[in-house]
């Protein structure tokens, strides 16, 4: 897995003269098919992930590197998006083992004129931690818009050839000492209004409805989002997942999960969203699972 580094993936040398012209992909997008001629390379950046894709005579190369924050605000870094620029380039040479530990290099032995760069959701559940503790009144509900990290994939004919997180989230354990699962952890503002949601190209947005049907105020500071069970969609401004509805009754930590297939209606101002990726894992539309966490619950049941 690539780690942070201040060095650029400088493994390729321009095939043409100095000042070789670069061509930005005409649609200005990051995701989608990428067609290269032999001897061409494409370079782009999303969030803090810098990526290069080279097409050599008989193979393709993928180079990725997660750049350090270097004092930059993390949210500002996540907003970075530079579309693919195509230029002439020689095939890179694989670095000597251990010489560039922060650079991830993959050689793809495929015979194709193009590959496709696609986003994907995380391969584990994501424990979303709002910036402030949330309390839901008895017999009422709240809707939150939360963002989770996405993965960068290179595919050919729907076969995933390369996959890595744009920014690898930290691991976390969700549950008790006796029962739980290994997940990823993510911070979120948990916006109540879509109008207040910033555009983060390196995140997917999930509409989460939490309904408290009990007679008590329900407080939580962590939500288990079953990301592998959700499909991913592409809109004009955001990447979206299936909607999620969690019904909280009297049992601590657990909820009834209702996965609402499709991106939320009307979120892109009438523009249709496109299915990008089906769920990694298939589960029933309705199920009971450990959904919430809080310091109080951990003290009682951890």
DSSP string for residues in 148-203: EEEEEEEEETTEEEEEEESSPPPEEEEE-SSSEEEEEEEEE--BSSGGGPPP-TTE
Summary mean pLDDT of the chain? 80
The pLDDT value recorded for residue 296 is 43
Mean pLDDT (10-residue bins), the chain, 302 residues: 38 40 58 93 93 92 86 68 88 62 87 94 91 88 90 95 93 82 84 76 91 88 90 89 87 80 76 87 65 51 34
Q: How far apart are CA 297 and CA 293, in angstroms?
A: 6
Q: State whether residue 252 is helix, strand or coil.
A: coil
Which residue matches tokens 């560039």?
A: 100
The pLDDT value recorded for residue 75 is 64
Query: The pTM is what?
Result: 0.81
Strand partners, 196: none
R_g of the chain, CA atoms, integer Å: 21
Instruction: Please report, for residues 33, 133, 145, the alpha-carbon distance to residue 63 in angstroms, rounded to integers and kept in the order given.
Output: 17, 40, 33
Domains of the chain, residue spans: 23-112, 121-149+167-301
The pLDDT value recorded for residue 42 is 95
Strand partners, 114: 35
The pLDDT value recorded for residue 106 is 92
């Amino acid at each position: 897995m690539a780690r942070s580094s201040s060095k650029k993936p400088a493994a390729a040398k321009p095939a043409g003269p100095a000042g070789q012209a670069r061509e930005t992909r005409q649609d200005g997008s990051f995701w989608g098919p990428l067609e290269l001629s032999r001897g061409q390379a494409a370079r782009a950046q999303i969030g803090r992930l810098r990526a290069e894709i080279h097409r050599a005579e008989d193979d393709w190369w993928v180079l990725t590197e997660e750049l350090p924050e270097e004092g930059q605000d993390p949210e500002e870094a996540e907003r970075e998006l530079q579309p693919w620029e195509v230029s002439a380039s020689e095939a890179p040479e694989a670095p000597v083992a251990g010489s560039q530990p922060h650079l991830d290099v993959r050689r793809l032995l495929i015979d194709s004129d193009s590959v496709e760069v696609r986003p994907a959701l995380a391969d584990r559940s994501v424990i979303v931690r709002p910036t402030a503790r949330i309390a839901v009144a008895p017999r009422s509900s709240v809707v939150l818009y939360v963002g989770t990290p996405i993965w960068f994939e290179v595919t050919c004919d729907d076969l995933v050839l390369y996959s890595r997180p744009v920014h690898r989230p930290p691991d976390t354990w969700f549950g008790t000492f006796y029962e739980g699962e290994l997940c990823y952890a993510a911070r979120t503002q948990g916006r109540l209004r879509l109008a207040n949601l910033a555009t983060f190209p390196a995140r997917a947005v999930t509409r989460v409805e939490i309904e408290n049907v009990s007679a008590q105020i329900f407080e939580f500071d962590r939500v288990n989002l079953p990301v592998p069970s959700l499909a991913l969609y592409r809109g004009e401004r955001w990447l979206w997942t299936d909607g999620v509805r969690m019904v909280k009754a009297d049992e601590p930590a657990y909820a009834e999960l209702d996965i609402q297939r499709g991106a939320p209606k009307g979120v892109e101002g009438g523009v249709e969203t496109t299915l990008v990726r089906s769920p990694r894992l298939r589960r029933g539309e309705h199920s009971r699972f450990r959904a919430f966490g809080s310091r109080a619950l951990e003290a009682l049941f951890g």
